[in-house]
Amino acid sequence: MELEERARDSADNCIACTSCIVACPVTKANPEYKGPKLVGPAHSRMHFSDPSDYEDTLMLCSNCKNCDITCPNGVSVSTLNMLERGRYLKAHPEAHKPEDKMLSHGFEMADMLNKIPFGKSLANLGMSIGEALGVMGAMGMAPERKTPRYASVYFRDLFKTIKQPSSDKKVLFFPGCYIDTNEPWVGTAFVQVMNENGYEVLMDNRFVCCGSPLVVGGYLDEARQHADTNVAIIQEYAQKGIPVVACCTSCSLMLKNEYTELFAQSEMKEAAKNVWDAFEFLTMLAEEGKLKKVNIKSDHKFIYHAPCHLRAQGMGLPAFDLLKAAGLNVVNADAGCCGMSGSYGFHKDNYETSMKIGQALFDAINADNYHKVICDCGTCRMQIQHGTDVKAVHPIEILAKAYKKA
Amino acid sequence: MVKDKATVVVVGGGATGVGILRDLSMRGIDALLIEKLDMVNGASSRYHGLLHSGARYAVKDQEAAKECIKENTILRRIGKSCVEATTGMFVQVEGDDPDFVDPWLKGCAESGISTRELSKEEALRLEPNLSRKLKVAYEVPDGAIDGFRMSWQNLQSAARYGGRYKTYTELIKVNIENATVKSITVRDNVTKEEYDIECEILVNAAGPWAGKVAELAGLECNVSPSKGTLIAFNQRITNHVVNRLRKPSNGDIFVPHGSITILGTSSITIPDPEDTSTSWEEVEELMKTGVGVFEHLRDYRILRVFAGSRPLYVPKGAEGGRNASRGFVTIDHEKEDGLKGMMTICGGKFTTYRLMAEKFCDVLAPKLHNTAKCRTAEEDLVPEVSEAEKKAARQYFPSYGVNLAATRLGVEKFGDVVKTLKEQPETREVLCECENVTMAEIQRIAAEPTSHCVADVRRRTRLGMGTCQGNYCAIRSAAVANKLFKNKFEGCSDSLSDMKNFLQARWKGITPVMAGKTLREAEMTRGMYELLFNVNGGRRG
Ligand SMILES: Cc1cc2nc3c(=O)[nH]c(=O)nc-3n(C[C@H](O)[C@H](O)[C@H](O)COP(=O)(O)OP(=O)(O)OC[C@H]3O[C@@H](n4cnc5c(N)ncnc54)[C@H](O)[C@@H]3O)c2cc1C
Ligand code: SF4
Ligand code: SF4
């Protein structure tokens, strides 16, 4: 059912205060970008004048959502941008960049490779060769980047081999593409942590990619299909009283906020109530006194980077707070956006902007002798490892390790 | 002192006056129009902007309905860049009188107004914000018409045939000898200079002020100004004109205009047409009716409220207000009052301004032994900017800016602006971000001899008429434009006072609706201008 409040109506709330322009990392790094206030709320009133027109620099928006976070009036600026980009690219498919299709449809490639014997190792080999030969650049990808490698066993298959104690208390895990196909060990760590707390973790392989990369690539119709599929599953579990938990903050943001903002369906708003970020969930357990206590003993010093898509969820920094409370020696980098923003930094044209944005974070990380960077987001971790030489891990890995040690 | 002369002097720069100037000029009659303030100061901008299909009058006044549909068709053709061919809907929601539908359909059919029934689903698909309590919907050929633009384009058209016009020139005295108008005395409201203009015929087209102008000639003309209040919303709530299908009453019509929507209106008889005050109570009354059609109306941001007066002519003993006739009268004061050389036109609607001018000039022209036929329906008001020109100009304009600028400026000034944008890239800066107005456009209009303050530029560019109501563009445009004005008002002689006056005028329309989102914006303005810039020069302590 169509919701009454829609993101596009939120433009009405804009008082043109320009806070979002100040907060937008892309505007700062690339003055060519006209900035959130103009391309979002201001232009949303102008489309009538010429539906065939388009603000070219809207393509520069990374959908990092710092504008939404900053806006004192609740304008969904980034969503206005994505809706407008999608509207335009649908009418003008020729305006797509050559790499859009691939970067937005990573899940298709990953699924295909899983069906081919040795598909993944061949693909990884291919990528190494490709990188060496400079093929990535020709495909529109930033040649400087190392492409993420496929795990030999995806989490969806690995999960079947994990032995869990059964329990009445269950959660449904939403792994998201990156954890599923590239970093399955994060999923394993999640299962360990939940098991330690008396929860049994379920998987449902009907889940599809959350759709975030589809949205930024302008494939809104497909994203809508993904949303409908996932929302139906979430609601099915909601009826059984089983919460859905994600470790990737871009996935959880999508399930919790963006579906509703983009597509304005009441089912989506309803389903969102049953979705949790992993550390948000664990913090809730802690607040209820139900989290298994753990004391982290480590001589190392860590630095935490809060992904923009986590900050956009408006729930504080649950992983940072929880790990710190557990005794970890960790500081908050508090250095803004890493510049990667999902697939944004992979585009050749965005590479420079992406690295410029990340510089403050890289500097913060390099400022001291940190053992590891902790960050909830997979693509942030990739960017951090690219921009510094420090290894980046998901906070759930730290917690899982601590439980194991205890 | 006589400083000027013209065969005909037309008093009043509203739709009626400019229509007459164009008509006379096209017939080859030497005519001069004077307007006491900036052009389009009265009802022709302080109005709803509905290009009537006539459907609203189909039941009660079929003659008016027939005139409307005829003129509607003509204006769409000759004034393409002033008319938004939105089409309109007549809707009934639960509770509306179903018995009104049949006579209305019959009236439309008899008046030659096409109607098409829309299923509830189709109506909601076309206008998703309509109330779910929608019962019936019909499509009619309504449209929206921009009063400022239409009037200026009439002037441009007249100018091509030798017609002249002066703004800020107020009629203050009619000089009569031997029961014949010899000349008029006017005051230049910018320089305060007073002088005479000789004429053979004086045309009183002062709209709701027509009674006052008649008084200057010692005549009585019973014009009863009827004030209507209108609410401007920050966005297009609807893409169609939406009318309530019932006996016409207050708050019945929504008209989309460019980036905004206007809801109105009411009808209160007032003594003085200068009274453009509005109140929260009037707004509330309109909103209460409005939510019947758009149930979430209260969630939308109101930009401002404004009011204007209809020039209703009331023959002695007849009824005023909403029930007064919307028709118009031509008064030949020679016949009526024995005063030679003066005629008055009064009443009518914006939609029928061209027809009114035609009929009026058909009476006037023979007095000057002119037998030319009216040609105003045959020729476009102004040549349109071609698609090729627009395409070529795209690279210099901000996105979504080309069409807006082309319709606002017209061919010649559009060409000038493109040239400036091309040669001086710094003028591509968007000074008004809400309505997408570039520095080049503002400079171009500021350099016109009729521009004396930022508000004049506003009326011709839409600068300051969008979301932030001048918050950002006031300071920017005052800085850019004020130095380009050749003659300035006393109170607007420097950019600071010009800016303050401009904001103060915006404030007038905001005050009655200062709540919710509108209040937030106002606080932002106050914070910027009073605290940050300290424009009022307040001191600490
Ligand atoms: C609230 C409202 C809503 C309306 N909605 C619609 C609508 O949707 N569609 C439609 O077709 N019509 C509508 N109308 C009617 C329409 O606006 C008027 O009929 C039309 O604009 C009248 O034009 P006018 O030129 O006669 O008067 P005006 O536009 O008022 O022009 C008179 C001019 O004379 C000038 N003047 C006065 N005294 C002097 C003087 N002494 N010397 C020099 N100049 C002087 C004034 O400054 C003014 O500019 C509406 C009217 C109102 C008030
Ligand atoms: S989403 Fe990020 S890049 Fe896009 S406008 Fe907002 S702050 Fe800027
Ligand atoms: S921060 Fe919000 S209110 Fe301020 S300009 Fe940006 S969108 Fe508008």
Question: Which of A2, A21, A33, A46 best tests the B interface by mutation, with the highest count of B CBs <10 A?
Answer: A46
What is the rounded distance in angstroms from the CA atom of residue A373 to the CA atom of residue A394? Answer: 9
Q: How far is the CA of A185 from the centre of ligand 2 (A)?
A: 31
Q: Please, which residues bridge with residue B227 across strands?
A: B268, B309
pLDDT of residue B326: 63
Band of the pLDDT at A6, cuts 50, 70, 90? confident
For residue A82, is it within any domain? yes
CB contact under 8 A, A55 and B400: yes
B146 touching A (Cβ < 8 Å): no
For atom 3 of ligand 1, the residue with the nearest CA is B47
CB contact under 8 A, A53 and B296: no
CB contact under 8 A, A14 and B467: yes
The ipTM (two decimal places) reads 0.90
For residue A145, is it within any domain? no
CB contact under 8 A, A16 and B259: no
Among A16, A48, A50, the residue with its CB nearest the CB of B236 is A48
For atom 1 of ligand 1, the residue with the nearest CA is B228
Measured from the alpha carbon of residue B225, the closest ligand is 1
CB contact under 8 A, A43 and B399: yes
B224 CB near ligand 1 (under 6 Å): no
| Overall domain count for chain A | 4
When computed from its CA atoms, the radius of gyration of chain B, rounded to whole angstroms, is 23
Q: How far is the CA of A45 from the centre of ligand 3 (A)?
A: 14
Helix (H, G, I), strand (E, B) or coil at B56: helix
What is the rounded distance in angstroms from the CA atom of residue A182 to the CA atom of residue A150? Answer: 5
Q: How far is the CA of B287 from the centre of ligand 2 (A)?
A: 36
For residue A307, is it within any domain? yes
Helix (H, G, I), strand (E, B) or coil at B5: strand
Domain of A398: which CATH number? 3.40.50
What is the rounded distance in angstroms from the CA atom of residue A333 to the CA atom of residue A365? Answer: 7
For residue A228, is it within any domain? yes
A13 touching B (Cβ < 8 Å): yes
Structure tokens at A191: 């299962």
The answer on A191 and A131 residing in a single domain is no
The answer on A280 and A159 residing in a single domain is yes
Q: What is the dihedral of CA B63, B68, B74, B76, to 10 degrees?
A: -170
B357 CB near ligand 1 (under 6 Å): no
Q: How far is the CA of A15 from the centre of ligand 3 (A)?
A: 6
Query: Which has the higher per-residue pLDDT, A121 or B234?
Result: B234
Among B404, B430, B433, the residue with its CB nearest the CB of A49 is B404
Q: Give one DSSP letter per residue of B4-37, joined into a string.
A: EEEEEEEE--SHHHHHHHHHHHHTT--EEEE-SS
Mean pLDDT of B513-534: 92
> Over 70: is that where the pLDDT of A371 sits?
yes
pLDDT of residue B319: 63
For residue A62, the ligand 2 atom closest to its alpha carbon is 3
Q: How far is the CA of A19 from the centre of ligand 3 (A)?
A: 6
pLDDT of residue B157: 97
For residue A35, the ligand 2 atom closest to its alpha carbon is 5
Q: Is-contact B332 B192, C-beta < 8 A? A: no
Q: Give one DSSP letter per residue of B407-422, joined into a string.
A: HHHHHHHHHHHHHHHH
pLDDT of residue A117: 82
Question: Would you give the DSSP letter of residue B229?
Answer: E
Q: Is-contact A256 A313, C-beta < 8 A? A: yes
Listed residue (A376, A108, A401) closest to A245, CA to CA: A376
Pocket lined around ligand 2, Cβ cut-off 6 Å: A 24, 26, 36, 61-67, 77-78, 81
Secondary structure tally for chain B: helices H, strands E: 16, 22
* pTM for the predicted model, two decimal places: 0.94
Q: How far is the CA of A40 from the centre of ligand 3 (A)?
A: 9
Q: How far is the CA of B310 from the centre of ligand 1 (A)?
A: 6
What is the rounded distance in angstroms from the CA atom of residue A394 to the CA atom of residue A378? Answer: 8
Pocket lined around ligand 3, Cβ cut-off 6 Å: A 14-20, 36-37, 41, 70-71, 73, 75, 77
The answer on A311 and A261 residing in a single domain is no
The answer on A298 and A279 residing in a single domain is no
Listed residue (A369, A350, A361) closest to A385, CA to CA: A361
**Over the stretch B54-109, which tens digit does the pLDDT of each residue have?**
999 999 999 999 999 999 999 999 999 999 999 999 999 999 999 999 999 999 99
Q: Please, which residues bridge with residue A200 across strands?
A: A170
pLDDT of residue B421: 97
Query: Is the bond into A18 cis (omega within 30 degrees of 0)?
Result: no
Q: Please, which residues bridge with residue B153 across strands?
A: none
Beta strand B180-188 with B241-244 is unpaired
**Window A:38-97, CB contacts with B under 8 Å:** 38, 41-50, 53-56, 73
**Window B:296-335, CB contacts with A under 8 Å:** 296, 299-301
φ and ψ of A183, to 5 deg: -130, 65
Q: Which residue has the tokens 């005028």?
A: B505
CB contact under 8 A, B400 and A49: yes
> Over 80: is that where the pLDDT of B538 sits?
no
pLDDT of residue A224: 98
Q: Is-contact A156 A111, C-beta < 8 A? A: no
Structure tokens at B484: 């380009």
Q: What is the dihedral of CA A227, A230, A232, A236, to 10 degrees?
A: -160
Among B239, B400, B524, the residue with its CB nearest the CB of A15 is B524
A1 touching B (Cβ < 8 Å): no
Mean pLDDT of B203-222: 96
Band of the pLDDT at A123, cuts 50, 70, 90? confident
- Write the CA distances from B346 to A107, B12, B16, B192, B343, integer angstroms: 71, 11, 8, 28, 10
For residue A147, is it within any domain? no
Question: Which of A5, A14, A80 best tests the B interface by mutation, with the highest count of B CBs <10 A?
Answer: A14
**Window B:370-399, CB contacts with A under 8 Å:** 394, 398-399
The answer on A276 and A160 residing in a single domain is yes
B49 CB near ligand 1 (under 6 Å): yes
Q: How far is A13 from chain B (nearest CA, A)?
A: 6
> Over 90: is that where the pLDDT of A158 sits?
yes
pLDDT of residue A106: 87
pLDDT of residue B99: 97
- Share of residues in chain B with pLDDT > 70 (%): 97
Which domains, ranges and CATH numbers included, belong to chain B? 2-43+148-222+326-367 (3.50.50.60), 83-144+225-310 (3.30.9.10), 387-532 (no CATH)
CB contact under 8 A, A9 and B299: yes
Mean pLDDT of B239-254: 95
> Over 60: is that where the pLDDT of B323 sits?
no
Band of the pLDDT at B370, cuts 50, 70, 90? very high
CB contact under 8 A, A46 and B404: yes
For residue A149, is it within any domain? no
Mean pLDDT of B214-233: 95
**Window B:70-129, CB contacts with A under 8 Å:** 128
The answer on A332 and A258 residing in a single domain is no
HSE-CB at B340 with a 13 A cutoff on CA atoms is: 8
The answer on A354 and A339 residing in a single domain is yes
User: Which chain A residues touch B515 with a CB distance below 8 Å?
Assistant: none
Provide the mean pLDDT of chain B: 95
When computed from its CA atoms, the radius of gyration of chain A, rounded to whole angstroms, is 21
What is the rounded distance in angstroms from the CA atom of residue A315 to the CA atom of residue A287? Answer: 14
**Over the stretch A296-352, which tens digit does the pLDDT of each residue have?**
988 999 999 999 999 999 999 999 999 999 999 999 999 999 999 999 999 999 999
pLDDT of residue A304: 98
B347 CB near ligand 1 (under 6 Å): no
Q: CB B304: neighbour CB atoms within 10 A?
A: 22
> Over 80: is that where the pLDDT of A7 sits?
no
The answer on A106 and A42 residing in a single domain is no
Residue ending a domain, choose from A83, A114, A139 = A139
The answer on A168 and A126 residing in a single domain is no
Q: Give the domain extent around A112.
A: 100-139
Question: Would you give the DSSP letter of residue A390?
Answer: S
What is the rounded distance in angstroms from the CA atom of residue B466 to the CA atom of residue B260? Answer: 8
Q: Among A37, A65, A78, which is best to mutate for testing ligand 3, by the most ligand atoms less than 8 A from CB?
A: A37
pLDDT of residue B196: 98
Structure tokens at A230: 């996932």
Residue ending a domain, choose from A65, A95, A125 = A95
pLDDT of residue A108: 86
Band of the pLDDT at A102, cuts 50, 70, 90? confident
Q: Please, which residues bridge with residue B224 across strands?
A: B312
Measured from the alpha carbon of residue A30, the closest ligand is 2
The answer on A57 and A125 residing in a single domain is no
**Which H or E element spans position B31?**
strand B31-34
The answer on A334 and A252 residing in a single domain is no
The answer on A82 and A33 residing in a single domain is yes
What is the rounded distance in angstroms from the CA atom of residue A340 to the CA atom of residue A357? Answer: 9
Provide the mean pLDDT of chain A: 94
Measured from the alpha carbon of residue A39, the closest ligand is 2
User: Which chain A residues touch B521 with a CB distance below 8 Å?
Assistant: 15-16
Q: What is the dihedral of CA B463, B412, A44, B428, to 10 degrees?
A: -70
Tally C-beta pairs within 8 A across A and B.
Answer: 85
pLDDT of residue A137: 76
Band of the pLDDT at B321, cuts 50, 70, 90? low
Band of the pLDDT at B44, cuts 50, 70, 90? very high
Q: Which residue has the tokens 């209106």?
A: B265
pLDDT of residue A110: 85
**Over the stretch B247-293, which tens digit does the pLDDT of each residue have?**
999 999 999 999 999 999 999 999 999 999 999 999 999 999 999 99
Residue ending a domain, choose from A139, A169, A203 = A139
Q: How far is the CA of B154 from the centre of ligand 1 (A)?
A: 15
Measured from the alpha carbon of residue B211, the closest ligand is 1
Query: Is the bond into A388 cis (omega within 30 degrees of 0)?
Result: no
For atom 4 of ligand 2, the residue with the nearest CA is A61
- Share of residues in chain A with pLDDT > 70 (%): 100
CB contact under 8 A, A50 and B402: yes
For residue A55, is it within any domain? yes
Mean pLDDT of A376-396: 97
Listed residue (B373, B379, B326, B374) closest to B352, CA to CA: B326
CB contact under 8 A, A16 and B472: yes
For residue A21, is it within any domain? yes
Helix-helix angle B147-160:B402-423, to 10 degrees: 60
